[in-house]
Structure 1
Amino acid sequence: MGCPLADVLTDNIHDALEEVPEVKNIEVKLVWYPAWTTDKMSRYARIALGIR
């Protein structure tokens, strides 16, 4: 189980956090349980992406 973009996600998060001077240590952990679904999206995110 996994995500084909897991490396891209962790790299992008790490790179963004490196830009924050107050952040000294960065450890990004992806979790697979509970599984993410669109049910976890906010109403506004659903509207922005055209998801019902």
Structure 2
Amino acid sequence: MTRRTSVAFARQSTTIPQSTPILEIDDNEKQKILTLKIDRFVNELIDKIRIYNP
């Protein structure tokens, strides 16, 4: 029982440093998604302005 728990704790401790670069990749993905949403919003605004001001 104690050996299994120690192995589980060892696995958890080894996964912590590996998860930090994944978080950085997630931040980059969030930035890409935000810029895409902003681009769509701006394009929709431009289309609306064109409709109201031909």
Q: Above 0.5 in TM-score?
A: no
Bigger RCO of structures 1 and 2 (CA < 8 A, at least 6 apart): 1
TM bracket (short chain): 0.3 to 0.5
* TM-score between the two structures when normalised by the length of structure 1: 0.33
* TM-score between the two structures when normalised by the length of structure 2: 0.32
Q: Larger Cα Rg: Structure 1 or Structure 2?
A: 2
